[in-house]
Amino acid sequence: MLQGGIAPSRVEQFVEARGVNFAVTPDIAREITAAGGTRSLVGAITENSTPDVAETSSPFDSGDDAFDGGDDRNAGPNYDDLIDRAQSSISSSDLNSAFRYAQQAVQLDPSQPTAYSMLGTMLLYGRRDAASAEQAMRAAIERGGTAAFKAYHDHDGSFSNYCEGSFFVTKSGVSFKANDGRDTFETDDSNIKEVKTNGFVGAQYGAFHIKPKVKINNRDNFNFAPATQQRVESQLIIRLIQGY
C-alpha cells in the first residue's frame, strides 16, 4: 500500500480496522520504514498483528522467571500461532492466557520482538511490575521492535484539554498517536534536546515532557502523562528513550 502511494496515516487506519496477518520482525520494520512508513505505523502493525504464517523456532533459555512459561516446543503451535492466541486472549480480557502464550512465544523464538513487546505492556499495566516490564521492553527494542505505552497528550499546558493515545519508543526515536488519529507526534532521538519528568505541569499525573531541537508543528515542548498517572512509568519511558 505504501509503495502504491497511499499515505502512512491511511495505511495505519487500515491496519487498525483490519489488522495484519504477520508479526513485525526487524527486517519487516526496516522494509516498512524504507517504503515511507512511520514509527507510529510500525507500532500500530505490532499492536494489531494476528499472524498465521509459520516461523522457524529456536530454543529459549533466559534464566529469567518473568519470561519462563515452561518448555512447550513440542506442543505444536509456532511463534505466530502463539502471538495470534495472545492477541485473541487480550481481546477477550483473558490476560493470564495472553501472558502464557507470549511467554511460550519468547521461548520458541527469542530473536523476535513482538512477544517481548506484548509481555512488557502486560507486565506494566496488568501486573503493575515496572521492573520486569522494563526488561521485556528493552528486549523488544533491542530486537528492532517497540515498547508501547498508553499516554495522555496535553493540549493546553495544564492537562485540562488532552487526548488519549499510544506512545511508542524504538531504538531510533519516539512517536505518539491519539486514539482518534487526529493528534500525532514523531521525532528521531537525534532531535530530542530534553526529556524529563515535569515539576509543575501535570506533575500530579506523573507527567513528562519532550523538547525537540527543531520545532515540530511549530511547537518546542510536548507534555505527556502516563496512563498509570505514576511518575515511575514516566521514568521508565525516559530511561528507554535515553538508553538507545
Among 142, 172, 204, identify where a domain stops. Answer: 142
Contact 149, 175 (CB under 8 A): no
The reply to whether 134 and 168 lie within a common domain is: no
* Structural domain that includes position 44: 8-142
Closest CA to 173 of 133, 141, 208, 140: 141
- Name the residue with cell 500500500: 1
In a domain, 26, yes or no: yes
Per-residue pLDDT of the chain (244 residues; tens, 9 = 90+): 554 445 666 667 667 666 776 666 767 776 777 666 777 767 777 777 655 433 333 322 334 444 444 454 455 799 999 999 999 999 999 999 999 999 999 999 999 999 999 999 999 999 999 999 999 999 999 999 999 999 999 999 999 999 999 999 999 999 999 999 889 999 999 999 999 999 999 999 999 999 999 999 899 999 999 999 999 999 999 999 999 8
The reply to whether 182 and 83 lie within a common domain is: no
Among 116, 142, 168, identify where a domain stops. Answer: 142
Contact 45, 24 (CB under 8 A): yes
**CA gap 148, 170 in Å, rounded:** 9
Q: What is the CATH number of the domain that holds 169?
A: 2.30.29.30
In a domain, 104, yes or no: yes
In a domain, 81, yes or no: yes
The values of phi and psi at residue 49, to 5°, are -80, 135
Among 124, 142, 160, identify where a domain stops. Answer: 142
The reply to whether 133 and 187 lie within a common domain is: no
The reply to whether 112 and 219 lie within a common domain is: no
